[in-house]
Structure 1
Amino acid sequence: MSILVRPPKRRLDDLENFDQNHRRVLRGFNQGSNALGTTATSTDYARFDERPETGDGSGYASPFRELTSSRGSPVRMENSLQTQRKFAPNASIVLIGIRGTGKSSLAVILAASYGRRVVEADRYFQQVTGRCRGAYKREHTLPEYRRQEAIVMESLLMEHQENCVIVCGPGDVERNGQMRLREYAKTHPVIHIVRDVESIQSYLKARDTDKVRRFLELSGPIYRSCSNLEFFNASEKGISDLKDNQHYTQWDAEVDQRIQTATPFLMLKRLQRDFLRFVAFATGNMPELRNQLSPFPLHMQPIETRKFTYATAVPMSSLLENNFDIEELESTADAFEIKIDVSAAPSAQLGTESNLADSISRTVATVRRNIIVPVVYHVESNIFSDHREPSRRSDAAYLELVQHGLRLSPEFVTVDLSFEDSLLSQIIDTKGSSKVIGHYSPVKPPLRGWEDPEYLGIYERAKKLGCDMVRFTQSATSIDDNFAVERFRHNLKILPGPQMPVIAYNSGPLGRQSCCFNPILTPVIPRPLISQSGTRGLPSVTVKDAQQALYSSFVLDPMQFFVFGANTTYSLSPAMHNAAFKLRGMPHIYRIHQTPTLRGINDLVENPNFGGTSVSLPYKTEVIPLLHSMSPHARAIGAVNTLIPIRNLEGSTDDALDLEKNRAGPIKGLHGDNTDWIGIGICIRRGLSPVNAIRPTTTGLIIGAGGMARAGIYSMIHLGVQNIFIWNRTVANAEKLAQHYMRLNLRAFGGSGPAPYKIHVLKSLQDPWPVNYKQPTIVVSGIPAHRIGDQPAPNFQLPSQWIESPTGGVVVDLAYKPLNTPLMRQIRSLSHRGWAALDGLDVLPEQGFAQFELFTGCRAPRRLMRTVILQEYKEEEQGEEYDQSAMQTRLENLDGQPM
């Protein structure tokens, strides 16, 4: 099917027909007891209280019963709850869900990126029987239809075991379909797609909101019973939502990439990034996950191996009660911990009891959509109500909540070690790709505090259960508790044999010191929640507090960073980095170091507080002979733009360099890296619409043959582009660049794995596009747009015969002096044809984020750094008036997302 084809709008009748189908499915169930243990009658269905017949006689587990109930747990669906969530790399993926959730769009996105085939179950039924489902039902009795439906469903799943994305509709989740999907889920990812009521209602053009909501309450448990993963399709704001902005104009929409993402051809960008990352992690597709995350240096290092990492802790109740800026909550943290502190009781936020699963899924999805750091899913074992003593969740309620969290595939999930081993083993055995943090927080500290042998016993128990990390916390009663927890961590570290990473700290105001010196995933409170510090179990320190404590106590040292080059007077980097240092509580300084010769590097390396430098022209290649080591990226590109000091020549690996960061001392060598390719690659991803997802036939075009062109080619290869063309005014330089990359024999990573690439040279702007290759959908221009010496500005535009892609594409112009280049004006005029334009002010902060991570080993405050770049930028060209309103529009629509 064409990925441009959108399914027709569904009528409310579709929902009503599906409703009637499930009435038949549930008919036999009404005579027995429902999952809450009460007798169900025919009138119960009108209240949407029934539970579906499973089709194989096994009992059904309610998604979330009363969480403070002491009743025993109902029988669980063995296939859905006991799945191992470990899959073969080429296992087909099934998407299920009601109409209007976006299954078809997600299937196309997934198939295009993974190089797989989309199989629509309804279409397959028609191919096998010669009739659509509705016609077949009309021509046959219901028992005959059911038999045929079972045969087709079994055939569908058996014939498409590998390399497919199977889309199942409501007709496939009835009676026998449920049983077959549960069986299929033992070896394949079966993903339940969920969406908010408003979006589904809009898709179905339904007027009755209550009917849609009741239907979701009924269908949710059915779909969850025969799936092993769940993805909430969080809706995006459209362009109509932005027009209330008084600064908004249609010209602004064309100029500003952040508003361009609301145009039809880019509306699915954030969803695409979100869903592909979810699927890669949930299915254990580590090569694809590394391909997506490798532009972020810290993503490639496990959190537990880094020093002084932080998890911002936010209760789900706060997220439901407040309209928080999620990105501000995450800013500069290394992980985002969602504390599930709500019960299943009806409330204004949660609706009815059966909606708790949807509320959790929606909350996790909303957070994940707006952050780039891992999610920690933590279920509170105790529920705190206003003016009441905390009540403990039942074993069954706790297990169901954590099991639901595993369906959402968070990077980390906690298990409360106060529960029995039998319950915890059910969670750990089904963790899939998630890492498990054993959590222990006694209501009352042991008699001997951190010296009590109870803690060591719990540590050994967590290790035996198979936890990946363990977290201990107790309320501090004195300052001495902070010294005691330091000794506790040290004693665990020196135990014989391999040991688990340990998180250990004291809570409460007296325990703040221990939080500052805990090395792994210290819980921190985000700035918007500071007023609630000490309540709802929230931490008492911010990231800034913890960082300032480390520098004040001489654990870390103030460092000096530079931009090094021959002409760096107008660099925007100092303002960007210094603002980031200040926000994070680092006493570092970033300055300009301009020098006419390479010898100026000596002034930097002789400084014991030298932390690193950005490298500008003309030294990106000249500095290479002085390096002790280089990253694979810099070596392949043949240029460096980032230097990091080496203080221990025997340990110049990435991990060793990370441990040296933010610590002064004599410098023994220099390590070179390149982040230009990262900035270019992220901007390509951001502007490339899902319809132009990179495939083996995708074509890229590079304009220029200098250092930035080198980075552009490397970025395209890394993204999986296998057909790359170069145009340069001097053909010999283009051919030299092509030969450089062909000799390297790198591998382009595409949806089907690493593949060879080809690089060609275009000799004239008048030449037609080569007929054996598709028109380019990715263009990167690395030529200057301003006057250089006596040379006039090139005034470059793409030949019209090279931009005839029927689906448009993305053009990244690396110039920003001037900002609105002739090339940018040309592409923005073609936005109606699907072309997106990104300029140098989009690329500059992206490569700066990566530099910040390489310099400090810490997360960059992305939105702040972008904002500073735009605020500091001043148009230098005299021939073009600086457009303040356009820049204001960009500032008001910033986010910190990579694409």
Structure 2
Amino acid sequence: MAGVKRSLTAMLGQDETRAMQVTGHQSQHYGLPPSSAFASRSSPSWTPTERTPIRTPLRTPGRSPEPGTRTPSPRLTPFTGKVADFGSDASIVLAGIRGSGKSTLAIMAATAMKRRVIDMETAFQQTMGASSAVYKRAHGGAQCQEQQARLLCDTLEKNNKGCIIVCSWMEITAQRLLRAFAATNPVVHVVRNLEPIQQHLKINDREKMQNLLAVSNAIFRSCTNFEFFNISETESSSESHPSKSDRLPSPYLTLKGAERHFLKFLSQIFPPNAIPFIEAAFILSTIPTEERLFTYALKHAQAIGAVNTLIPVRQLDQRGYVPQGAQFVKTMNRAGPVKALFGENTDWIGIRACIRRGLSPANAVRKGTCGLVIGAGGMARAALYAMLQVGVQNIAIYNRTVSRAEQFANHFQQLLQKDDFQFLGAGRQTRFRIVHSLNEPWPAEFNLPTMIISCIPTHRIGDVPAPDFRVPEEWLGSRSGGVIIELGYKTLDTPLLAQAKNRASKGWVAMDGLDLLPDQGFAQFELFTGRRAPRRIMRRDLLKAYADAHGKQEREEMGPRFGSINEPEA
């Protein structure tokens, strides 16, 4: 796009350009003329809603555009500025210039809404056997645009539900197709500041980049009904004074902020509860309203085979059993003899939270996703259970004592044969593999892992020194990186975490026991009290207690953790 000299009139059509010249900014949205490829669709009746797209005026370039060399666009009827009510399964189009972040946002939305992503450029290459740029050089611009329009029209007609469609094409026919599609579906213009787009397109001339951005914004604003500004996160000033515990903002972790904002944006477009991911990270969302005073009366401990929390029960039900669900909370905080103990495991909850926060959108859990658990004790069981909870279907296990690793895997293989646990991983089809040695190659039938959880001690125990454990570098070959979680918290600078930090530029994120403990504590608080945990207070006090116990130097190096307490949770 950057190398093609084309007038604004040719790209927009003379009517749109004239409107910009007269008013000093872009005109309102327009309806589609009868000659459009979508002309056979009946125009929906527009009803006012509280959701109105926000538009930013676009200033006219300093000089008047050249006269157009193409046939002028027909006069278009302005949109009313109101937004239609979309069905919960309506497909979304993300439109915008290349480099604005559409593909990443599409993965985020598709993961949350369980939809299929269709990238028009990828579809073009699969259909025509060459990319748009290569096809254009071989067959000319007119032929390329004709094929793009035909493919876009076919895609929109056949995939108007259940998809996230990514499009960066700006030609006039594509504009008309998107404008027509916006009558029944959300068409979102993804905007981004200049620098990251310039870097992506490799355009050194800033003025040329500004002109390209002005033209593309005018085009996409003429054929979309929503606009989302994709904010580019920047590293904090702490980068100039790094320390061993200073956690610089990884680009993969800062994407969590964009994910949260974009899904909240989509939740305002679609009907309530159409975006399940918005509330899925919060414990209370899975509990019926009438039972929300108590949120953890679930027997995960039986599935894991390990207990880390015991609650005294002073009142049994009529059958002599521990009450379940909302009835359980009514027996809490009462005086009297203890008649039973209720055991639960909250380790997996903290580990699951770390997995969710640490995985980038590019590593969203899919059918081929693979995880590695190091160890075979109680924490390893909780780690594997957390992987199953997030949908991992391929799990490798490494332990120094192979027989214990085999017993560990056998426990979960038997568990997943039961009908009650088919929702975990792939149910009976979940695959486990024992890695016998760090010297053997990664299992050929598994993809390289994107999540590695170490459940072995990180500190000295008696006369046994702290382990010097690292994974083979070949195992860290995932092209999109991943997350490495060290569950120990007494030592925060382990060799394994050093491996992750050294590979931060390749997408690897390091997390430790201090990332796990708060979420584990939240679960225990709610389990004991039946109330929502005061998360920021608990996180702050935990870090303060840890820093106080480890001296002044540790307190200073934990500054970034304290600074992130008030940030919204992923």
Q: What is the TM-score normalised by the length of structure 2?
A: 0.73
Q: In the alignment, what sits opposite 2:469?
A: 796
Q: Give the structure 2 partner of residue 851 of structure 1.
A: 524
Partner in structure 1 of residue 124 of structure 2? 124
Q: Is the 8 A contact 2:397 2:434 kept in 1?
A: yes
**Corresponding residue number in structure 2 for 1:813:** 486
Match of 2:64 in 1: none
* 1:563 paired residue number: none
Aligned residues of 1:256 and 1:889 also touching (Cα < 8 A):
yes
CA offset at residue 707 of structure 1? Answer: 0.9
Aligned residue for 1:798, secondary structure, equals coil
1:820-835 to structure 2, matched below 5 A, reads 820-835=493-508
**Distance change >3 Å, CA 97–CA 853, structure 1 → 2:** farther
Correspondences of 1:636-785 after superposition (within 5 Å) = 636-644=303-311, 649-650=316-317, 652-657=323-328, 664=334, 669-745=340-416, 746-747=421-422, 756-785=429-458
Identify if the C-alpha distance between structure 1 residues 688 and 765 changes in structure 2 by more than 3 Å, giving closer, same or farther.
same
1: CA distance between counterparts of 2:477 and 2:140? 49
Say whether the 8 Å CA contact 1:100–1:199 is kept in structure 2: no
Q: Distance in 2 between matches of 1:19 and 1:64?
A: 25
Return the offset for 1:105: 2.5
Aligned partner of 1:836 in structure 2 is 509
- The answer for the alignment partner of 1:167 in structure 2 is 166
Secondary structure at 1:873's aligned position in 2?
Answer: helix
Task: Return the alpha-carbon distance in structure 2 between the equivalents of residues 700 and 198 of structure 1.
Answer: 38
Partner residue, 2:191: 195
Structure 1 residues 275 and 182, CA, compared in 2 at 3 Å: closer, same or farther?
closer
Give deviations 1:123-176, integer Å, cap 9, x for gaps. 63995698949959x9688xx999876544322224546765321233377564
For residues 226-237 of structure 1, the aligned pairs below 5 Å read 230=226, 232-237=228-233
Q: Distance in 1 between matches of 2:435 and 2:340?
A: 41
Cross-structure match for 2:68 = none
**2:105 corresponding residue in structure 1:** 106
Q: 76-85 or 851-860: which moved more?
A: 76-85
Q: 1:675 to 1:81 in 2, by over 3 A?
A: same
CA distance 1:724–1:882, change in 2 (3 Å):
farther
CA distance in 1, matches of 2:542, 2:100: 38
* Structure with more of its chain in strand, by fraction: 1
Distance in 1 of aligned mates of 2:257 and 2:385: 24
Secondary structure at the counterpart of residue 188 of structure 2: strand
1:119 offset after TM fit, Å?
2.6
Q: Does structure 1 retain, via aligned residues, the 8 Å contact 2:95–2:220?
A: no
1:695 partner SS = coil
Aligned to 2:177: 177
Conservation of the 8 A alpha-carbon contact between 2:371 and 2:394: yes
Amino acid across the alignment from 1:86: S
TM-fit CA distance, 1:843: 0.8
Residue number among 2, 12, 36 corresponding to 1:22 in the alignment:
12
Q: How many angstroms apart in 2 are the aligned matches of 1:659 and 1:216?
A: 58
Among 252, 255, 273, the residue aligned to 1:268: 255
Q: Distance in 2 between matches of 1:836 and 1:149?
A: 39
Which residue of the partner structure matches residue 635 of structure 1? 302
Q: 1:836 to 1:128 in 2, by over 3 A?
A: closer
For 1:356, the equivalent position in structure 2 comes to none
CA separation of 1:687/1:162 partners in 2, compared to 1, >3 Å: closer, same or farther?
Answer: same
Partner Cα separation in structure 1 for residue 115 and residue 374 of structure 2: 28
1:800, 1:129 → 2: CA distance? 36
Measure how far apart 1:811 and its partner are: 1.3
Cα gap change, 1:676 to 1:692, in 2 (>3 Å): same
Greater mean deviation of Cα atoms: 155-164 or 281-290: 281-290
Q: Is the contact made by 1:93 and 1:166 (CA closer than 8 Å) also made in structure 2?
A: yes
1:18 deviates by: 6.2
Structure 1 848/173 Cα, relative in aligned 2: closer, same or farther at 3 Å? farther
C-alpha separation between the residues in 2 aligned to 1:710 and 1:212? 52
The structural deviation recorded for 1:704 is 1.1
Q: Out of 46, 69, 83, which is 2:85 matched to?
A: 83
Q: Is the 8 A contact 1:637 1:710 kept in 2?
A: yes
Task: Judge conservation of contact 1:689–1:809 (CA < 8 Å) in 2.
Answer: yes
Structure 2 Cα separation of the partners of residues 110 and 78 of structure 1: 28
Report the alpha carbon displacement of residue 82 of structure 1 after superposing the two structures with TM.
Answer: 4.0
Task: Find the residue that maps to 2:301 and give its secondary structure.
Answer: helix
* Distance in 2 between residues matched to 1:727 and 1:139, nearest whole Å: 56
Read off the aligned partner of 1:677 and give its amino acid letter: W
How far apart in 2 are the matches of 1:668 and 1:643? 13
Percent identity of paired positions between Structure 1 and Structure 2 = 33
Shift of 1:814: 0.8
2:58 matched to which residue of 1? Answer: none
| Partner of residue 296, structure 1 | 282
Whole-angstrom CA distance in 1 between matches of 2:211 and 2:124: 33
Per-residue deviation at 1:115?
Answer: 7.7
Cα deviation, 1:470-521, whole Å, max 9, x if unaligned, reads: xxxxxxxxxxxxxxxxxxxxxxxxxxxxxxxxxxxxxxxxxxxxxxxxxxxx
Which residue in the other structure is 1:888 paired with? 559
Change (3 A) 1:150 1:793: closer
1:445-464 map, 5 Å: none
Question: Hey, what's the Cα distance between the residues in 2 that align with 1:739 and 1:802?
Answer: 24
Q: Tell me how far apart the structure 2 counterparts of residues 191 and 705 of structure 1 sit (CA, whole Å).
A: 49
Deviations 1:836-868 (A, max 9, x none): 221111111121123333344444343333232
For the 8 Å contact 2:397–2:433, the answer to whether it is kept is yes
**Corresponding position of 2:30:** 52
For residue 249 of structure 1, what is the aligned residue in structure 2?
241
RMSD, matched Cα: 4.8
Q: Which amino acid aligns with 1:852?
A: F
Which amino acid letter does the alignment assign opposite residue 641 of structure 1? Answer: N
Indicate conservation of the 8 Å contact 2:373/2:453, yes or no.
yes
Please tell me whether the aligned partners of residues 101 and 230 of structure 2 are also in contact (alpha carbons under 8 angstroms): no
**How far apart, CA to CA, are the structure 1 residues paired with 2:286 and 2:308?**
20
1:706-726: CA deviation from partner (whole Å, max 9, x where unpaired): 111010000111112111111
SS of equivalent to 1:771: coil
Counterpart secondary structure, 1:268: helix
Please give the alpha-carbon distance, in whole angstroms, between the structure 2 residues aligned to 1:198 and 1:839.
Answer: 36
Contact 1:112 1:695 in 2 (8 A): no
Distance 1:283 1:50 in 2: 23
Instruction: Give the match for residue 428 of structure 1.
Output: none
Runs of at least 5 residues in structure 1 that lack an aligned partner in the other structure = 1-9, 31-40, 66-74, 225-229, 308-610, 613-628
Note the C-alpha offset of 1:683. 1.4
Structure 1 contact 103–193 (Cα < 8 Å) conserved:
no
Q: In the alignment, what sits opposite 1:868?
A: 541
**1:511-561 deviation digits (Å, cap 9, x = unpaired):** xxxxxxxxxxxxxxxxxxxxxxxxxxxxxxxxxxxxxxxxxxxxxxxxxxx
Paired residues of 2:29 and 2:222 also in contact (CA < 8 A): yes
**Alignment length, in residue pairs?**
520
Q: Deviations over 1:669-726 (max 9, x none)?
A: 5544322112112212222233333222222111111111010000111112111111
Contact 1:121 1:172 in 2 (8 A): no
